[in-house]
């Protein structure tokens, strides 16, 4: 499965962006998506995909047709898309250090399928007002959510393995943070018979 490839994840992001943007657009509106991934541009503009990507295209096309939306995906080189490029390389400090006012984005010309007014929304967001969580809270909530995604039989197996690993670390006075050495010592201890 291509679920872990960068191309798959880029295509998934574009699919999600289109599906989200359509909720804000009037019927017969226009939508432009900019990405630095040329493969993703070709995927959505040609509507031709490998088998693992077909479901994305079908979903987007179904919603586009039902909404009568005109959409196009445009390529913008990463060097010209400063914020997205920094985010994709995990250079978050660079984003805050840069002058965001100087970053401009233009809509495509009308002969390239563009429209001077891309998104018109007469309603305000229906999202509830939320307070920011601390990083610690985000990590805890993330861990809890991931814990619920496991089947009970898998969860008990993982819990048993975790307990075994923690017992090993305590017995040998090792930090339980999994490093290459700690994990290799653990595996060696489990599977190699002592003399």
Pairing of strands 70-75, 30-35: parallel
State pTM to two decimals: 0.44
Tell me, yes or no, whether 86 and 37 share the same domain: yes
73 is a domain residue = yes
Q: Any alpha helices (H) in the chain, and if so which ranges?
A: 6-22, 38-46, 54-67, 82-88, 92-97, 135-148, 152-171, 180-191
Positions of the chain with pLDDT under 50: 1-2, 100-104
Tell me, yes or no, whether 164 and 70 share the same domain: no
Task: Please check whether residue 28 is in contact with residue 122, taking contact to mean a CB–CB distance below 8 angstroms.
Answer: no
163 is a domain residue = yes
Domain extent at residue 177? 135-191
100 is a domain residue = yes
Tell me, yes or no, whether 53 and 141 share the same domain: no
Tell me, yes or no, whether 142 and 181 share the same domain: yes
Domain count of the fold of the chain: 2
| φ, ψ (nearest 5 deg) of residue 166 | -65, -40
Tell me, yes or no, whether 95 and 141 share the same domain: no
120 is a domain residue = no
63 is a domain residue = yes
Tell me, yes or no, whether 34 and 84 share the same domain: yes
């Amino acid at each position: 499965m291509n679920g872990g490839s960068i191309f798959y994840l880029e295509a998934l992001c574009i699919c999600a962006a289109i599906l989200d943007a359509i909720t804000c657009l009037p019927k017969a509106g226009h939508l432009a998506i900019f990405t630095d991934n040329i493969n993703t541009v070709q995927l959505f503009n040609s509507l031709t995909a490998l088998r693992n990507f077909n479901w994305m295209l079908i979903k987007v096309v179904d919603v586009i047709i039902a909404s009568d939306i005109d959409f196009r995906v445009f390529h913008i080189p990463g060097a010209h898309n400063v914020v997205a490029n920094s985010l994709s390389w995990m250079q978050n400090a660079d984003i805050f250090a840069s002058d965001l006012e100087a970053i401009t984005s233009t809509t495509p010309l009308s002969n390239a399928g563009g429209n001077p007014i891309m998104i018109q929304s007469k309603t305000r967001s229906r999202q509830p007002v939320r307070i920011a969580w601390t990083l610690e809270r985000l990590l805890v909530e993330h861990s809890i959510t991931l814990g619920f995604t496991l089947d009970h039989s898998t969860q008990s197996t993982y819990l048993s393995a975790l307990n075994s690993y923690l017992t090993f670390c305590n017995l040998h006075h090792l930090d339980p943070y999994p490093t290459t050495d700690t994990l290799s010592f653990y595996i060696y201890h489990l599977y190699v018979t002592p003399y």
